[in-house]
């Protein structure tokens, strides 16, 4: 029996070796064919590896190779992207999935599809923080934001790259990128100079970083700034001790292949997201695992100390490991989330906060209180970071959070972002009088928009029986995706108008009776004039009523279903078959259905019949979504020539002009009062 068992083991080993050899042979054959230019033959060879063991790492490597051939050699982009996507779908947590996402990000970056590039790189950064590819992706994520003209976000990510791996070449590249960003785009030479100086000081004595150091020196010279002396990182006793510890660890590392792999795996498991081994930190202060199982408590204590010192990589590694070992303190979850944010892992930060909130639902309140404390101490950036980190984790808190975010931006003197934050707060709770009052003040004092400020002041004063108030609140709710409130407010606005229209309709009917009864020609002419005036008022109110009903249908299409919205539109079409507003509504419905050709035609027909705001905005925004900003600008400029007093569109035109023609855009003139109802 023993001999049979031994024979079976030998056979299984030989079979395994034969399989590995077969896969290796197929892969080598494929690579040779690709090198000779026989790409289709190479794909067939790679497919043999996939078919032999579909769920293996070799199969995924073959799939990556096929995707690369399709995109890089055969110009079959759709097939290549599908091949990459299959790797992700088949093994979403594998290293090959990270590589597939990364390569898709590269493809989208090269083709200037920055939205998709951002999505791919963000996934690699947050879903695979333990891989070096995650740090490569993070650097490219910063460059993606820069290319997309999202300069503030690019700066944040550059900073995160440096905090995440300060000794790496990526950190130096990030600092150089940050310097160029502030020098060329954000026009802040002081920050640019500081970034360049940090490179020279911190990396000037590192032989591997000399190319970046020389580039930083060149930029400093061009800016007329002093070039600092490099810092000798081994000048302090502590630095020298740390270097000796690192040398000893390398000397003591097991050299046998199996032992080395085991050690590597254990270290990788501990270093996880932060690239720091928490055990080494604990050993450096002579704390080791004891028999009572209180090691993670000691680790938590050291983590808190490191967190207080703003050593976020070390603190994060310690919190992460302590939680793995069994620590349940909610503060650890909260602080770990903060450490994740500091190195740019926003998704992981939110994930760990959710886990912490499951243990302590009051955690979110403590974070809000921390934000308020930072606000009181005038640490506005820190307050903003805390508030934004918990948006969406508790929907009942979001209106309050946006309210506070608006107050922070007020202090930072960024009125546009202040107003956007108030809008988002109002979209969640349109009856919050405090935020409505703040919005009125921001519009009046800081934007000079007296008309819209007056609408929000009325809203804050409780004047709810106002069409302008209800329409404005409905538009804000619709804009920010609260379709339930949007529907309610549009319906309320329509009812207000339907009550208002009864008065001119009654007066008109009475005057028509008088006109029919009189024989005095002068009196008849006078009555006709009055009737015409009343008809214009009725037409204006009818137009607004139809607009509110169409927008109600669109809110229903978003909130309930496209079919439900379409049903309401069908009823309005039957009553108003060829009205400009109807064509606008049909365009929006077609856009929701993905029928862009019909949508464009309907928007254009609407504009042809009556050149009003909504179809122009909708069509222009569609053009922008398709990266055709020039078409949007041309459309909106044509609209503003005929509707110059429409501040909403005028502001959009100025912003787009600045983006497309930054050197040609004239400085803004004094604001012009707008006509009631133009927004």
Considering only residues 431 and 232, tell me which one the structure prediction assigns the higher pLDDT: 431
Tokens at 460, concatenated: 């804050």
Per-residue model confidence as pLDDT tens digits over 143-163: 999 999 999 999 999 999 999
- Ranked by mean pLDDT, the top range of 50-54, 247-251, 342-346, 405-409 is 405-409
Residues ≥6 apart with Cβ < 8 Å to 542: 501
DSSP of 166-225: TTSHHHHHHHHHHHHIIIIIS--HHHHHHHHHHHHHHHTT-GGGHHHHHHHHHHHHHTTP
Looking at residue 185, its pLDDT comes to 92
Tell me the CA distances in angstroms from 627 to 16, 385, 590, 622, 662, one per residue in order: 52, 30, 20, 9, 18
Q: Is the pLDDT of residue 672 over 60?
A: no
Tell me the CA distances in angstroms from 340 to 243, 275, 350, one per residue in order: 26, 12, 9
Burial class (CB in 10 A: 0-12, 13-18, 19+), 427: buried
DSSP secondary structure letter of residue 447: S
Q: How confident is the model at residue 647 (pLDDT cuts 50, 70, 90)?
A: confident
Tell me the CA distances in angstroms from 478 to 43, 375, 426, 543, one per residue in order: 49, 30, 11, 20
Tell me the CA distances in angstroms from 384 to 126, 332, 346, one per residue in order: 21, 21, 14
Looking at residue 623, its pLDDT comes to 96
Looking at residue 287, its pLDDT comes to 60
Determine the Cα–Cα distance for residues 679 and 676; give it in Å rounded to an integer. Answer: 8
Looking at residue 384, its pLDDT comes to 94
User: Of 199, 185, 165, 203, whose CA–CA distance to 344 is shortest?
Assistant: 165
* Residue length of the chain: 679
- Residue ranges and CATH numbers for the domains of the chain are 23-233 (1.25.40.10), 274-473 (1.25.40.10)
Determine the Cα–Cα distance for residues 549 and 533; give it in Å rounded to an integer. Answer: 25
Looking at residue 663, its pLDDT comes to 53
Ramachandran angles phi, psi of 419, nearest 5°: -65, -40
pLDDT above 90 coverage of the chain, percent: 72
Burial class (CB in 10 A: 0-12, 13-18, 19+), 255: exposed
DSSP of 264-325: HHHHHHHHTTTT--HHHHHHHTT----TTS-HHHHHHHHHHHHHHTT-HHHHHHHHHHHHHH
Q: Is the pLDDT of residue 317 over 90?
A: yes
- What average pLDDT does this structure show over 428-447? 97
Looking at residue 288, its pLDDT comes to 54
User: Of 226, 220, 131, whose CA–CA distance to 175 is shortest?
Assistant: 220
C-alpha radius of gyration, the chain, whole number? 32
Looking at residue 61, its pLDDT comes to 95
Determine the Cα–Cα distance for residues 668 and 628; give it in Å rounded to an integer. Answer: 25
DSSP secondary structure letter of residue 525: H
CB 623 within 8 A of CB 635: yes
- What average pLDDT does this structure show over 313-335? 91
CB 90 within 8 A of CB 96: no
- What average pLDDT does this structure show over 506-527? 94
Q: How confident is the model at residue 627 (pLDDT cuts 50, 70, 90)?
A: confident
Determine the Cα–Cα distance for residues 118 and 137; give it in Å rounded to an integer. Answer: 9
Tell me the CA distances in angstroms from 653 to 68, 76, 627, 637, 650, one per residue in order: 41, 38, 16, 7, 5
Q: Is the pLDDT of residue 116 over 70?
A: yes
Determine the Cα–Cα distance for residues 243 and 233; give it in Å rounded to an integer. Answer: 10
Determine the Cα–Cα distance for residues 152 and 255; give it in Å rounded to an integer. Answer: 47
Instruction: Give the number of other Cβ atoms within 10 Å of residue 236's Cβ.
Output: 10
Q: Is the pLDDT of residue 645 over 90?
A: no
Q: How confident is the model at residue 285 (pLDDT cuts 50, 70, 90)?
A: confident
Tokens at 594, concatenated: 């993905």
User: Of 672, 623, 619, whose CA–CA distance to 645 is shortest?
Assistant: 672
Looking at residue 670, its pLDDT comes to 38
Q: Is the pLDDT of residue 674 over 60?
A: no
Per-residue model confidence as pLDDT tens digits over 574-595: 999 999 999 999 999 999 999 9
State the average pLDDT for the chain: 88
Burial class (CB in 10 A: 0-12, 13-18, 19+), 557: buried
3-state secondary structure (DSSP) of residue 361: coil
DSSP of 618-677: HHHHHHHHTT-HHHHHHHHHHHHHH-TT-HHHHHHHHHHHHHH-TTTPPPP-PPPP--TT
| pTM to 2 decimal places | 0.74
Per-residue model confidence as pLDDT tens digits over 339-393: 999 999 988 999 999 999 988 888 999 999 999 999 999 999 989 989 998 999 9
Determine the Cα–Cα distance for residues 565 and 593; give it in Å rounded to an integer. Answer: 12
CA atoms within 13 A on the CB side of 10: 6
Angle (nearest 5°) at CA 528 between 526 and 532:
120
Q: Is the pLDDT of residue 474 over 60?
A: yes
Determine the Cα–Cα distance for residues 464 and 469; give it in Å rounded to an integer. Answer: 7
Q: Is the pLDDT of residue 295 over 90?
A: no
Looking at residue 241, its pLDDT comes to 58
* 3-class SS letters over 603-633: HHHHHHHCCCHHHHHHHHHHHHHCCCHHHHH
Among the listed ranges 11-20, 125-134, 335-344, 400-409, which one has the minimum average pLDDT value? 11-20
Looking at residue 671, its pLDDT comes to 39
Q: How confident is the model at residue 264 (pLDDT cuts 50, 70, 90)?
A: very low
Determine the Cα–Cα distance for residues 60 and 91; give it in Å rounded to an integer. Answer: 8
- What average pLDDT does this structure show over 196-222? 93
Residues ≥6 apart with Cβ < 8 Å to 49: 23, 26, 27, 30, 58, 59, 61, 62
Q: Is the pLDDT of residue 265 over 50?
A: no
Looking at residue 237, its pLDDT comes to 59
CB 313 within 8 A of CB 164: yes
Looking at residue 5, its pLDDT comes to 55
User: Of 372, 312, 358, 354, whose CA–CA distance to 336 is shortest?
Assistant: 312
- What average pLDDT does this structure show over 226-235? 82
CB 419 within 8 A of CB 443: yes
DSSP of 34-83: HHTT-HHHHHHHHHHHHHHSTTSHHHHHHHHHHHHIIIIIS--HHHHHHH
């Amino acid at each position: 029996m023993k001999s049979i068992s031994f024979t079976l083991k030998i056979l299984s080993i030989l079979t395994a070796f034969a399989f590995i050899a077969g896969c290796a042979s197929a892969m080598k054959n494929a690579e040779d064919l690709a090198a000779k230019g026989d790409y289709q033959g190479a794909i067939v060879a790679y497919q043999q590896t996939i078919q032999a063991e579909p769920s293996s790492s070799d199969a995924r490597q073959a799939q990556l190779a096929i995707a690369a051939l399709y995109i890089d050699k055969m110009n079959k982009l759709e097939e290549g992207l599908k091949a990459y996507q299959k790797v992700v779908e088949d093994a979403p947590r594998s290293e090959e999935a990270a590589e597939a996402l990364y390569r898709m990000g590269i493809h989208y970056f090269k083709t200037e599809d920055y939205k998709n590039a951002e999505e791919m790189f963000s996934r690699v950064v947050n879903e695979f923080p333990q891989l070096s590819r995650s740090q490569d992706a993070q650097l490219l994520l910063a460059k993606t934001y820069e290319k997309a003209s999202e300069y503030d976000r690019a700066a944040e990510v550059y900073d995160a790259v440096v905090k995440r791996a300060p000794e790496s070449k990526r950190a130096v590249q990030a600092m150089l990128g940050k310097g160029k960003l502030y020098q060329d785009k954000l026009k802040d030479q002081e920050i640019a100079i500081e970034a360049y100086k940090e490179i020279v000081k911190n990396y000037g004595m590192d032989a591997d970083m000399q190319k970046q150091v020389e580039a930083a020196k060149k930029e400093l010279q061009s800016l007329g700034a002093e070039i600092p002396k490099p810092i000798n990182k081994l000048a302090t006793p502590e630095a020298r001790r740390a270097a000796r510890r690192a040398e000893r660890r390398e000397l003591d590392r097991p050299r046998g292949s199996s032992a080395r792999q085991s050690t590597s795996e254990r270290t990788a498991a501990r270093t996880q997201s932060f690239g720091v081994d928490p055990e080494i930190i604990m050993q450096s202060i002579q704390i080791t695992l004891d028999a009572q199982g209180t090691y993670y408590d000691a680790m938590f204590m050291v983590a808190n100390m490191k967190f207080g010192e703003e050593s976020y990589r070390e603190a994060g590694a310690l919190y992460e490991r302590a939680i793995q070992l069994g620590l349940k303190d909610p503060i650890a979850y909260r602080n770990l989330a903060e450490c994740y944010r500091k190195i740019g892992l926003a998704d992981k930060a939110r994930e760990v906060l959710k886990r912490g909130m499951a243990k302590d639902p009051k955690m979110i309140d403590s974070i809000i209180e921390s934000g308020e404390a930072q606000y009181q101490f005038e640490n506005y950036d820190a307050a903003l970071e805390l508030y934004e980190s918990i948006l969406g984790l508790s929907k009942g808190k979001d209106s309050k959070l946006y309210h506070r975010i608006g107050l922070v931006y007020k202090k930072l003197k960024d009125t546009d972002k202040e107003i956007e934050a108030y809008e988002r707060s109002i979209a969640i709770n349109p009856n919050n009088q405090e935020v409505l009052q703040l919005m009125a003040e921001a519009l009046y004092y800081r934007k000079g928009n007296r008309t819209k400020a007056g609408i929000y002041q009325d809203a804050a004063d409780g004047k709810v029986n106002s069409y302008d108030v209800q329409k404005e609140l409905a538009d804000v709710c619709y804009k920010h995706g609260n379709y339930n409130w949007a529907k309610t407010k549009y319906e309320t606005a329509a009812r207000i108008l339907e009550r208002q229209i009864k008065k001119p309709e009654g007066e008109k009917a009475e005057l028509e009776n008088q006109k029919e009864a009189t024989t005095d020609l002068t009196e008849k002419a006078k009555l006709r004039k009055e009737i015409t005036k009343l008809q214009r008022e009725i037409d204006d109110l009818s137009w607004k009523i139809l607009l509110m009903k169409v927008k109600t249908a669109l809110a229903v299409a978003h909130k309930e279903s496209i079919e439900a919205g379409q049903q309401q539109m069908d009823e309005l079409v039957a009553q108003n078959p060829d009205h400009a507003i109807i064509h606008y509504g049909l365009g929006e419905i077609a856009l929701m259905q993905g029928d862009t050709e019909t949508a464009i035609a309907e928007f254009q027909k609407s504009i042809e019949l009556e050149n009003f705001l909504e179809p122009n905005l909708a069509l222009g925004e569609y053009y922008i979504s398709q990266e055709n900003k020039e078409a949007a600008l041309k459309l909106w400029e044509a609209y503003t020539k005929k509707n110059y007093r429409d501040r909403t569109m005028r502001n959009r035109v100025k912003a787009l002009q600045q983006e497309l023609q930054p050197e040609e855009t004239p400085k803004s003139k004094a604001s012009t009062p707008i006509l009631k109802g133009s927004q």
